[in-house]
Chain A
Amino acid sequence: MNAIEFYNVWEKYRIKFIKEEKVHWEEIWALEDISFKLNTGEVLGIIGQNGAGKTTLLKLIAGMLMPDKGKIDVEGRVAMLMELGAGFNPEFTGRENVTLNARIYGFDEEALNQQMEKIVEFAGLGSFIDAPVKYYSQGMYTRLAFALAIHVNPDILLIDDILAVGDEEAQQKCINKIFELKQSGKTIVLVSHDMNMINRLCNRVILLHKSRIVKDGLPQQVIQHYLETVGDKRGITVLEKDDLRVAFNNGKLNFSYNDGLLTKGTGAFVSFLLPEVNLWSSSSNLSWQIKSSGINEIIAEGRSHEEAVSLIWKIQIEEKQLQCKVELKDEALKDAHMNFFLISDYKEWVSLEKEGEFPVFAHKLNWKEIDFSSHKYSMLGLIPDAQNYKLPFLAFEIEDNRDCCFKLFNTGYEQESRVIQLPLSGNETISAIIKFFPERDEFEDYIKQERQKLLLRQQEEEVRLRASRSIKSDDLYLFADLEARSLRLYFKDKEITRSPGLHISFLSNGSWHDTSSCDWQVRKEDETLHLNFTWKELQFTSKCTLYFKDNSLIWQAECDYAGSFDLDPLKFGLLLIPEYRKFFCGHQEGKFPEEFSIWQDIPLQDVCPGLFGLKKENILPAVTLKNKNNFTCVIQNSDAVFSCRGLQLCLHKDITKDKNFSFDTEIAFLGNESSINKYLIEKKELWLLRKKTEEELIYAKRNISQGAFRLFADTETKILRLYYMDEEITQNKGLYATVYNADTKRWFHSYEAEWEVEKISEEELVLSFNYEELLLTEIWTLCFKEENSLEFNIKFKAEKPLLLNNRNVSLEIKDKFKNWFTAYEKGDFSVNKYIADFCPIRLKDHRVSRVILDSGSNTRIPRLFFEASSQPDKRILGINKLRKDTQEEYICLDFSLVVSRNERTVKPGTHTYFQGKIILGKDIKLEKENLFTKSVEFAKNDLKFIFDRGRGKVFLGEKELTSGLGLYTAVRSLGIWLDSYQATWMVNKKEDNKIIVCGDWPFIPISQIWQIKLIDKNSIFCKVDMEVYEDMSLEVEQVNLMLSPEYKAWIIPDVNNGGFLDEYSQYYDFSPFRFWYGKADKIVVTSDCFPKITFESEVKNDYLRAVIENTDDLHQARRVQYQKINVNKTQPGKYLYFQGIIKLEI
């Protein structure tokens, strides 16, 4: 059945011409006498030049035009895709437009709803479907139009060359859809300039030329005819031989094989850059004339209008081969090349060096060059898609094989072609040969042959080159590889170096340079290689001479350096293959690490031995470097990328600073290792000897001793160790000092400082510990004076004012001691219990300056005496037992200094920090300490009051009524309790029955002034003022009176009374034996044998509470207390802390 019938159709246009303001109309026939019949299901392609009447023909089919003469019959519904946006109202949304158009095509509501979803999906516009189409991009427009046109289910679909619009994916989708429609038997009429698309889609093609049908038939034939005929007749010729057919058409060359067109678009042409206008022009723009035409040969000449450019093409055809000689006659043309546009069915390419697949067409218009980084291709093969068995394999060659080479491109997907490009230059003839291989085997054989030829050429070339740049001696062979800038060494034809082989490298101005990045000059003379390395920018030249002597390579270098930066270091060396696993250097022997991770220097004991190198490995010879000038040797293991071993000699700036300096070494390759081994043994003995004496010397320098007592300053571990009878008694950190710096808020320990040791005599050692961060140096002078007695003296040397809040000296010793003694107390370590890994021993009186430890029955361990002899009244002793790693136990003794507020700052200069004494011996006795130097005693009759560093003791005759700390104050700041016994005190005023004392608190910025007065023979008045210096939190303020346990009962007059229990808490921070707590200003305690005591408060404060309780187990005393709780922060200022009277009833 015929879908479309044309009977002698004529169509004319009246066209208005305006020339010199005169208007005349001319009638032009757009179509003349067109007759054809198209069957249903046929796909018709219409081709022809622009203006041939293609679109008019389509419009006539569509009914958009009516014929002027003749008759047209069209059966069925027609949909068409023509100009962009036609049929859409820009104000309406995509959906509305689809609806309207569908109505026009005669869809009812139901059919429309069915199709709508499909259309929307196919168009792929997403939410844009509901936006007015005036906001659409061109691609969106087309997609929507296409979606609409195919979904209205037309019987005949007309497409006017619009598929070029849109991205590749969308385009592919449309083409696929057209194929689908073709399969489903629709009639399609397609107008396109894309011959390949026409070829693929159509089963019939009509060629229109000058308004008439010139040819009507199968696509292949018609397209062929089109390419061969359309154009200036003078410039058209066709050559044909067997299956090969070549058409030259006015500067364009198209060829087909076995009726399959291989070129695409304009085929092969020359494009050149016109220098005057800077525009690219094509050979098809020239006017052409066939000069001669034979059976196998065409010569054609093309000239531009101005005769400026002239091109001569000579095309020869042989069996399965096409030769194309192009001569460009214009010297002014700078840039020109010949392009072969080939169909995209060629999927893979092959060159002599490489092969690959073409990527997908990624861009719309941009060309993409395909992998041609470094290679120059003088031959290129193209392999068609395996499915398309009709296409021949192609091989492109350049005939006389000069320097020029092919380039390979993908065009954008609009053109969808493979392009082979060949550069041309003026007044030169370039001849390209294209070979056609219908069979794969032939093609592969050809490629193989060509590759072998190339290989052969390259090998010859290489051999020739090598000979001029290499020297040889027996098994050894040195080659200066200029391409890789590498000096390679071969042993028995196996390369034993890794690139860059023998090299020079140096660090200059912060960056590394080496011979792989400089200019090389190579000269060979009498089996000697002269190599000049020049770093121009750095003004450094090194002239190296290399030659073999027996089994050694002699390497001499004269260096000339005029640059301003130091070359430090400058290394001469070589990189060797990783098969070498063992090295030696002087006496040292070792193995390289198993794995290559990062470049690393192998640690060497002797950095400038006379000989170093690599040891023998199977067949590989040992490599040794002679170090004649005492340079520094380096043995390196590379990273994973290089995976090699490095041997280098380093020159430092003491040598390289000279303008001229020289270097020489001898690299020996030894098949026999005996000489190395001999050398090693010799060196080893020497080294051991030297090392031994050295070690002994060092060791002696750090020891002082007297009798059985020895001190060793262990600089390795930074520990001061004490020995008795050569058995160490210190443990963990030994003897050390600690300070807390309030500026940096950090603790500093002497075992973390920089150490320096100086031995003055066999009995005296001076150590200095440098805390760099604080600019502080501690100078320890340790000296044996009396027998078994080590006296030491620590001084600060501060360079800037520092805030040092804590200053401790600690001694950590082995857990061999059983008992401890102070002047007042003694104890047994086994009694106390650990809290975590820490066992603090509570002392009733920790303000002592001497302590003795005794090991009990263990006779090997002497008694240990530790004394702080400077500022003894300000020392607080700490005794702790510690567990390290929950296993090892040790004892820590420390003396910390009470640092009051105004003593915190250490001024620049030298200060004594600590003086102390350690005695180790069998019989050390502890004398009673007389630390009451600062205590004040005054009495009235029998009543006596002793003030001792923050605690007040009340005596009646010889009987002490108080106990433990007696009268004292305590405050809590930020959760920490601090009592007056921890403060440092000064007596301001002392009269017969009155004292005024002032105490500075450590750690917190407060001080207190106590006024104590004996009013009469049985009353003591006390007043406490407190001065606060900074904003601070004082949560609790207390005044306590610790009384003898002889007191058995208590009374709060008019309120309550009760008795004390004789039980005391083991937990000192927790009082389970509190008997009363409440508001009161008078507390009375009574005893059978002691006088009744009334403790009265004269302070009127709502927050003041009285407390009656037992102390803990340590003091075993009664405590009566006034306590005040503060809610707010305490502002700086002076406050009345407490005022009251202690009354005795005698």
Chain B
Amino acid sequence: MTIKQLKAKYSGSKLGIWWTIVTPLILAASINFIFNEIFKINIPNYTLLVLSGIIPWMFFSNAISEVTNSFIVNIPILKQAILPRELIPLSNVLANFLVFLIGFSITLPLFIIFNLRVITVFLFLIIPLSFLLIFIIGLGFIFSSFNVFSKDLPHFLSIGLMIWFWITPVFYSIDMLSFPYRWICLLNPLTYYVIPCQVILFEGRLPPPLTVGISFLISLFFFIIGYLFFIKKEPQLLKRI
């Protein structure tokens, strides 16, 4: 099912799965150009810092915007085949995760080249990333179900994601902010997924256990809420498609 989603995404495009590799590389190149050449920011390896944050963010934003439409897009399947409906947002998110992993495996050597220590800790990335996945799935249940009833959600989401991006510490480090602005960041659940990634990839250290713990709780919470929401909405949802 996940493979099918992937196939559907890239069928008809010439580069196919290579897009997943090309996108982060171009991104890295443009970040490097803008911040180092134009703004001349004086943080060592700033590009890597941004990249380490922007990769999980991109996974998040791509997955959320796609999963939101997953029921709408897969109406034909819902009409023909009899299958657990949960599979649809689930497979959609997993497809995005797979794409993310492929892209990430290309950029990973970059981090290792600049900071050899990364090699010792990068396996720990599994923890924040899997928590992030669960978080997205939970959120995906809510958004995708909701989207069937209200077609405004995608528009709202495109603006929401933009704001959300800037309150996520990607271009800046959370330490750069002072209170009370830092609260905004701290209340943003995504912060707790981005920071561990940054710490592992950029600094080559293990992430602080507190942050990881918080992210675990957030994931669990959203997953349960999301699934319950879906179960409740499923009968109506079926009637609307």
B8 near A14: Cβ-Cβ < 8 Å:
no
The complex places the Cα of A275 from the Cα of B114 at a distance, in Å, of 87
Q: Enumerate chain B residues within 8 angstroms of A91, measured Cβ to Cβ.
A: 8, 11-12
A62 near B239: Cβ-Cβ < 8 Å:
no
Q: Does A86 contact B (CB under 8 A)?
A: yes
B81 near A104: Cβ-Cβ < 8 Å:
yes
Interface-central residue, B78, B80, B239, by most chain A CB under 10 Å: B80
B76 near A105: Cβ-Cβ < 8 Å:
no
B239 near A14: Cβ-Cβ < 8 Å:
yes
Q: Does A908 contact B (CB under 8 A)?
A: no
Nearest CB on A from B37, distance (A): 41
A86 near B80: Cβ-Cβ < 8 Å:
yes
Q: Enumerate chain B residues within 8 angstroms of A463, measured Cβ to Cβ.
A: none
B79 near A66: Cβ-Cβ < 8 Å:
no
Binary A-proximity of B61-92 (CB < 8 A = 1, otherwise 0) = 00000000000000011111111000000000
Q: Does B116 contact A (CB under 8 A)?
A: no
In the complex with contacts A65-B235, A104-B1, A82-B79 CB distance below 8 A: yes
The complex places the Cα of A86 from the Cα of B74 at a distance, in Å, of 10
Residues of A within 8 A of B (CB-CB), count:
28
B235 near A66: Cβ-Cβ < 8 Å:
yes
Q: Enumerate chain A residues within 8 angstroms of B1, measured Cβ to Cβ.
A: 103-104
B7 near A87: Cβ-Cβ < 8 Å:
no
Q: Does A362 contact B (CB under 8 A)?
A: no
**Chain B positions 150-195 with a Cβ under 8 Å from a chain A Cβ:** none
Nearest CB on B from A95, distance (A): 13
B7 near A92: Cβ-Cβ < 8 Å:
yes
Q: Which of B7, B80, B238, B239 touches A88 (beta carbons < 8 Å)? A: B80
B79 near A64: Cβ-Cβ < 8 Å:
yes
Nearest CB on A from B14, distance (A): 14
Q: Enumerate chain A residues within 8 angstroms of B239, measured Cβ to Cβ.
A: 13-14, 65
In the complex with contacts A65-B238, A66-B235, A103-B1, A87-B11 CB distance below 8 A: no
Q: Which residue in chain B gives the minimum CB-CB distance to A83? A: B79
The complex places the Cα of A101 from the Cα of B82 at a distance, in Å, of 10
Q: Which of A86, A89, A103, A104 touches B79 (beta carbons < 8 Å)? A: A86
Q: Enumerate chain B residues within 8 angstroms of A68, measured Cβ to Cβ.
A: 235
A66 near B80: Cβ-Cβ < 8 Å:
no
Q: Enumerate chain B residues within 8 angstroms of A957, measured Cβ to Cβ.
A: none
B82 near A66: Cβ-Cβ < 8 Å:
no
B82 near A87: Cβ-Cβ < 8 Å:
no
Q: Enumerate chain B residues within 8 angstroms of A13, measured Cβ to Cβ.
A: 239
Q: Does A78 contact B (CB under 8 A)?
A: yes
**Chain B positions 1-22 with a Cβ under 8 Å from a chain A Cβ:** 1, 4, 7-8, 11-12
Q: Does A80 contact B (CB under 8 A)?
A: yes
**Chain A positions 404-432 with a Cβ under 8 Å from a chain B Cβ:** none
Q: Enumerate chain B residues within 8 angstroms of A1133, measured Cβ to Cβ.
A: none
The complex places the Cα of A587 from the Cα of B80 at a distance, in Å, of 96
B83 near A104: Cβ-Cβ < 8 Å:
yes
Nearest CB on A from B114, distance (A): 41
The complex places the Cα of A64 from the Cα of B241 at a distance, in Å, of 10
Q: Enumerate chain A residues within 8 angstroms of B7, measured Cβ to Cβ.
A: 92, 96
Q: Which residue in chain B gives the minimum CB-CB distance to A89? A: B8
Q: Does A63 contact B (CB under 8 A)?
A: yes
B235 near A87: Cβ-Cβ < 8 Å:
no
Q: Which residue in chain B gives the minimum CB-CB distance to A149? A: B80
**Chain B positions 191-241 with a Cβ under 8 Å from a chain A Cβ:** 234-236, 238-239
A80 near B80: Cβ-Cβ < 8 Å:
yes
A82 near B80: Cβ-Cβ < 8 Å:
yes
**Chain B positions 118-176 with a Cβ under 8 Å from a chain A Cβ:** none
B4 near A87: Cβ-Cβ < 8 Å:
no
Nearest CB on B from A465, distance (A): 71
Q: Enumerate chain A residues within 8 angstroms of B235, measured Cβ to Cβ.
A: 65-68
Q: Enumerate chain B residues within 8 angstroms of A88, measured Cβ to Cβ.
A: 76, 80
Q: Enumerate chain B residues within 8 angstroms of A67, measured Cβ to Cβ.
A: 235
The complex places the Cα of A85 from the Cα of B8 at a distance, in Å, of 16
Q: Enumerate chain B residues within 8 angstroms of A14, measured Cβ to Cβ.
A: 236, 239
Q: Which of B8, B77, B80, B82 touches A63 (beta carbons < 8 Å)? A: B82
The complex places the Cα of A87 from the Cα of B74 at a distance, in Å, of 9
B12 near A87: Cβ-Cβ < 8 Å:
no
Nearest CB on B from A643, distance (A): 70
Q: Does A100 contact B (CB under 8 A)?
A: yes
Q: Enumerate chain B residues within 8 angstroms of A86, measured Cβ to Cβ.
A: 76, 79-80
The complex places the Cα of A91 from the Cα of B5 at a distance, in Å, of 12
Q: Enumerate chain A residues within 8 angstroms of B4, measured Cβ to Cβ.
A: 89, 100, 103
Q: Which of A65, A96, A101 touches B80 (beta carbons < 8 Å)? A: A101
The complex places the Cα of A89 from the Cα of B77 at a distance, in Å, of 8
Q: Which of A64, A85, A100 touches B82 (beta carbons < 8 Å)? A: A64
Nearest CB on A from B13, distance (A): 11
The complex places the Cα of A85 from the Cα of B75 at a distance, in Å, of 11
B11 near A92: Cβ-Cβ < 8 Å:
yes
Q: Which residue in chain B gives the minimum CB-CB distance to A64? A: B238
B76 near A85: Cβ-Cβ < 8 Å:
yes
Q: Enumerate chain A residues within 8 angstroms of B80, measured Cβ to Cβ.
A: 80, 82, 86-88, 101, 145
Q: Enumerate chain B residues within 8 angstroms of A105, measured Cβ to Cβ.
A: 81
A87 near B77: Cβ-Cβ < 8 Å:
yes
Nearest CB on B from A125, distance (A): 18
Binary B-proximity of A2-13 (CB < 8 A = 1, otherwise 0) = 000000000001
Q: Enumerate chain B residues within 8 angstroms of A145, measured Cβ to Cβ.
A: 80
Nearest CB on A from B63, distance (A): 21
The complex places the Cα of A944 from the Cα of B233 at a distance, in Å, of 142
Nearest CB on A from B184, distance (A): 37
Nearest CB on B from A100, distance (A): 5
**Chain A positions 138-189 with a Cβ under 8 Å from a chain B Cβ:** 145
The complex places the Cα of A951 from the Cα of B237 at a distance, in Å, of 124
Nearest CB on A from B159, distance (A): 25
Binary B-proximity of A55-85 (CB < 8 A = 1, otherwise 0) = 0000100111111100000000010101101
Q: Which of B8, B12, B81, B238 touches A66 (beta carbons < 8 Å)? A: B238
Q: Enumerate chain B residues within 8 angstroms of A59, measured Cβ to Cβ.
A: 238
A62 near B11: Cβ-Cβ < 8 Å:
no
**Chain A positions 82-120 with a Cβ under 8 Å from a chain B Cβ:** 82-83, 85-89, 91-92, 96, 100-101, 103-105
The complex places the Cα of A88 from the Cα of B1 at a distance, in Å, of 13
The complex places the Cα of A64 from the Cα of B83 at a distance, in Å, of 9
The complex places the Cα of A883 from the Cα of B234 at a distance, in Å, of 113
Nearest CB on B from A62, distance (A): 5
The complex places the Cα of A168 from the Cα of B7 at a distance, in Å, of 36
Nearest CB on A from B86, distance (A): 13
The complex places the Cα of A100 from the Cα of B11 at a distance, in Å, of 15
A62 near B82: Cβ-Cβ < 8 Å:
yes
Q: Enumerate chain B residues within 8 angstroms of A82, measured Cβ to Cβ.
A: 79-80
Nearest CB on B from A1066, distance (A): 92
In the complex with contacts A65-B235, A78-B82, A87-B76 CB distance below 8 A: yes
The complex places the Cα of A537 from the Cα of B77 at a distance, in Å, of 73
Nearest CB on B from A1146, distance (A): 111
The complex places the Cα of A1080 from the Cα of B200 at a distance, in Å, of 116
The complex places the Cα of A86 from the Cα of B234 at a distance, in Å, of 20
The complex places the Cα of A940 from the Cα of B8 at a distance, in Å, of 121
List 21 contacting pairs A-B, 8 Å CB cutoff, sorted by A.
Answer: A14-B236, A64-B79, A64-B238, A65-B235, A65-B238, A66-B235, A66-B238, A78-B82, A82-B80, A83-B79, A86-B76, A88-B76, A88-B80, A89-B76, A91-B8, A91-B11, A92-B7, A101-B81, A103-B4, A104-B81, A105-B81
Residues of chain A touching chain B, judged by Cβ–Cβ distance below 8 Å, are 13-14, 59, 62-68, 78, 80, 82-83, 85-89, 91-92, 96, 100-101, 103-105, 145
Residues of chain B touching chain A, judged by Cβ–Cβ distance below 8 Å, are 1, 4, 7-8, 11-12, 76-83, 234-236, 238-239
The 6 A-B pairs at the shortest CB distance, nearest first, are namely A87-B80, A86-B79, A86-B80, A66-B235, A104-B81, A91-B11
With A85-B76, A87-B80, A92-B11 already in contact, 5 other A-B pairs whose C-beta atoms are closer than 8 Å: A62-B82, A64-B79, A66-B234, A80-B82, A92-B8
